[in-house]
Amino acid sequence: MTIRQPTHTPYDGSSKLFTIGLKPLEIERWIEVDEFLLPHLAEKQRLYADIPEKVFVEEADTRDAQSEVLALLSPHLIAKHPRTHFGAGSDVEVIGLASATDRLPPALREAPLARASLLVQEDLILMRRDERGWRLAAGSLCFPSSWSLQEKFGKPLQEIHAPVPGFGPGTRPAELINRMFDGLQGQAVERFNWSIQAGDALYHPLSNIQRIDRATNRPTRFADGDINAHAFMRVERQTLRKLPVSSDILFTIRIHLDPLKVLDAHPDRATLAASFVEQLLALDQQQLDYKGLTADRDRLVAFLNGIAGSA
């Protein structure tokens, strides 16, 4: 049986944790579509039906900017992904599914960003500039990586990033991110983030601080099962693109989930595992706690060293 290899491997050292790491992105590669398109969209539809208030927010005056997002996405999907999307203009749909509007709860059918979100696997976040900096003005976040859309709604970047070690208000990285947002023009950029989680849940809203092992008072995720069976690599591919009319910024987040054990079959498994170990060992205590790896790092390192040693 052929084992699916990870699409992205930022843990190879190309995208170090707790760095900004923005790189230019060719527009042709803006949106990613793979064999998980339909199940991912089905999960989004389920979340919209069950907990719409937790996965979609909008300020009242963002509908025009939301329409811009849909107007940018539609021709891109038709041109670059004709095997999965069809239509004309802003009327684009996914082959084999009912229209995005019909798959939304009635209260969200007039929100263009919600409709756009059911065309792609990416989550879509709209950032808007005010005197405080760039704030989260609207968003569809069905696949959060340890954060709450409701909690971050309306907040500027420096407050959104406050829990991230070294990225809170007043830090140099926080100032740099705001400057990068200010300087973004017609080009698109991308960056990667990654973590390790227990299980393959796409909807992953609890912060690592909320997942505390009462016995050790440290975040842990693998106490109830072995790493080989339960550890998944969660890779976030993030893109930024300024909207031409509103000058708002569209922030996309695409989640890739792969079992950690797939590295054992990777042709470059020794290099990947060794780099993975190097980055895990480089994290300080605050970073380990934030990532929820304090109680599990040594077990992960041993597992990865076993992969490297078997090459």
Per-residue pLDDT of the chain (311 residues; tens, 9 = 90+): 456 899 999 999 899 999 999 999 999 999 999 999 999 999 999 999 999 999 999 999 999 999 999 999 999 999 999 999 999 877 899 999 999 999 999 999 999 999 999 999 999 999 999 999 999 999 999 999 999 999 999 999 999 999 999 998 999 999 999 999 999 988 899 999 999 998 999 999 976 555 444 334 444 555 545 777 689 999 999 999 999 999 999 999 999 999 999 999 999 999 999 999 999 999 999 999 999 899 899 999 999 999 988 75
Predicted confidence at residue 4, as pLDDT, reads 83
Distance of CA 34 to the CA centre of its chain: 16
Q: How far apart are CA 266 and CA 257, in angstroms?
A: 15
**Per residue in 215-234, is it b (16+ CB within 10 Å) or e — as a string?**
eeebbbbbeeeebeebbbbb
pTM, two decimals, is 0.93
How open is the CA angle 14-173-210, to the nearest 5 degrees?
85
Per residue, the 3-state secondary structure of the chain, as one string, reads CCCCCCCCCHHHCCCCCCCCCCEEECHHHCCCCCCCHHHHHHHHHHHHHHCHHHHEEECHHHHHHHHHHHHHHHHHHHHHCCCCEEEECCEEEECCCCCCCCCCCHHHCCCHHHHHHCCCCCEEEEEEEECCEEEEEEEECCCCECCCHHHHCCCEHHHHCCCCCCCCCCCHHHHHHHHHHHHCCCCEEEEEEEEEEECCCCCECCCHHHCEECCCCEECCCCCCCHHHHEEEEEEEEEEEECCCCCCEEEEEEEEEEEHHHHHHCCCHHHHHHHHHHHHHHCCHHHHHHHCCCCCHHHHHHHHHHHHHCC
How far apart CA 266 and CA 197 sit, in angstroms, is 20
The residues near 134 (Cβ < 8 Å, ≥ 6 apart) are 127, 128, 156, 157, 178, 181, 249
pLDDT of residue 207: 62
- Give the pLDDT score at 309: 82
**Tens of pLDDT along 70-127?**
999 999 999 999 999 999 877 899 999 999 999 999 999 999 999 999 999 999 999 9
Q: Measuring CA to CA, which residue among 197, 310, 166, 213 is closest to residue 260? A: 197
Count of alpha carbons within 13 angstroms of residue 184, beta-carbon side: 29
pLDDT (0 to 100) of residue 30: 98
The answer to whether the beta carbons of residues 250 and 67 sit under 8 Å apart is no
**CB hemisphere CA count around 118 (13 angstroms):** 29
